[in-house]
Amino acid sequence: MDPSAPPLRCGVLGCADFARRRMLPVLAAEPGIRLAAVASRDAAKAASFGEAFGCPPVHGYEALLADPDIDAVYLPLPPMLHAEWIEKALRAGKHVLAEKPLTADPASTERLLRLAASRGLVLLENVAFPHHAQHAAVTALLAGRSIGELRDFTATFTIPPRPEDDIRYQPRVGGGALLDLGIYPIRAALHFLGPDVEVRAAVLRHQARTGAVVAGRILAVTPGGVTADLGFGMEHSYRSGCEFAGSTGRLLLDRVFTPPADHRPVARLERQDHREEITLPADDQYANLVRHFLHAVRTGAVGTSAEQSMRQARLVGRVTDLALRVTG
């Protein structure tokens, strides 16, 4: 990218806590991006965010999208609002970095990805963990047959229960644990096992009080017979890990999905009569993703991000169609 190019003027649609804690500090720190405005339906909240990050507050999302000086938007709205505001942003001529998932169903995801492509705009889903260097290191270990031939893959992302008023418990707004947490192990299976992962069975547990999905388990398989056991939920202890079981050993990785930028991941390699811990470098996956977004906007080179988002959306849809529903 040309370092002399003017910064990408980026607006923010929504004032989510995750945006304040993780994404806005990274966006503000990127030299190639200038935070140009932050919008909320709550004027006081927009003012608070604007003051914290040195950018003008805007009352209402429509007002920000109408600003011709805004090149792109970061969209951290609740999942069930994504489709509407992604479409409005694209039709306003803005590039979009949207929190995951892009939408709640594969048909809407495909429609919006096609709309972005037809207008020469970047639509990128904020699935950050594949941009962490630890995953390239693990891929290299697997390619080097450190555990022989891969047979089984397990990925789990669970968190403790949230406050009762958390939007994750509001299916019409937050979408539940499948869309918020299940995305991670599903995307990990695609990342490590390839694009042809097929969901064969699933169980989704729904909260009796609200009907929201609070946990789930997914069984998937590749055409080559590698099985994937994918778990997620928000009524558990914290877990965020992957395990690769091979013909001669296994490889385990913890803090897979949301490691702090200063965290040094440890890959544990186990074979008969051999135990090894490989400490990997710290990395900032959110900063890497923001740079990827900027590069895509500047060059038009989006890589495989649209394909990955589309495959992910189809697998989520397949889980919903196949799942045995349990209420408790």
Tens of pLDDT, residue by residue, the chain (328 residues): 566 789 999 999 999 999 999 999 999 999 999 999 999 999 999 999 999 999 999 999 999 999 999 999 999 999 999 999 999 999 999 999 999 999 999 999 999 999 999 999 999 999 999 999 999 999 999 999 999 999 999 999 999 999 999 999 998 888 899 999 999 999 999 999 999 999 999 999 999 999 999 999 999 999 999 999 999 999 999 999 999 999 999 999 999 999 999 999 999 999 988 999 999 999 999 999 999 999 999 998 888 899 999 999 999 999 999 999 999 7
Q: Are 77 and 14 in contact (CB under 8 A)?
A: yes
- Answer yes or no: do 84 and 213 share one domain: no
Nearest residue to 288 (alpha-carbon basis) of 257, 262, 255, 261 = 261
What integer pLDDT is reported at residue 154 of this predicted model?
98
The CA-CA-CA angle for residues 299, 129, 132, to 5°, reads 75
Q: Does 156 lie in the same domain as 87? A: no
> 180 and 69, same structural domain?
no
**pLDDT in the model for residue 328:** 79
- Cβ neighbours of residue 39 under 8 Å, at least 6 residues apart? 11, 12, 13, 14, 46, 57, 58, 59, 60, 61, 63, 64
Query: In the listed set 128, 145, 174, which residue is the last one of a domain according to the structure?
Result: 128
- Per-residue confidence (pLDDT) for residue 2, from 0 to 100: 65
Locate 106 and state its tokens. 């594969």
Examine the domain organization and report whether 144 and 199 are in the same domain. yes
Residues 273 and 166 in one domain: yes
Residue 100 bears catalytic tag: yes
pTM over 0.85: yes
What token pair was written down for 120? 């020469």
Both 121 and 136 in one domain: the answer is no
Are 161 and 123 in the same domain?
no
Residue 104 lies in a domain: yes
Containing structural domain, residue 39: 8-128
273: Cα separation from own chain's centroid: 38
* Alpha-carbon gap, residue 225 to 152, rounded angstroms: 9
Among 128, 154, 174, identify where a domain stops. Answer: 128
Q: Which of 45, 88, 94, 100 is catalytic?
A: 100
Same domain, 161 and 212: yes
| 3-state secondary structure labels for all residues of 95-158 | EEEEECCCCCCHHHHHHHHHHHHHCCCCEEEECCHHHCHHHHHHHHHHHCCCCCCEEEEEEEEE
Asked if the structure places residue 302 within a domain, the reply is no
One domain for residues 188 and 47: no
285, 191 in Cβ contact below 8 A? no
Q: Tell me, what CATH number does 189's domain have?
A: 3.30.360.10
Report if residue 54 sits inside a domain: yes
The Cα 125–Cα 99 span in angstroms is 6
Note whether 218 and 179 are same-domain residues: yes
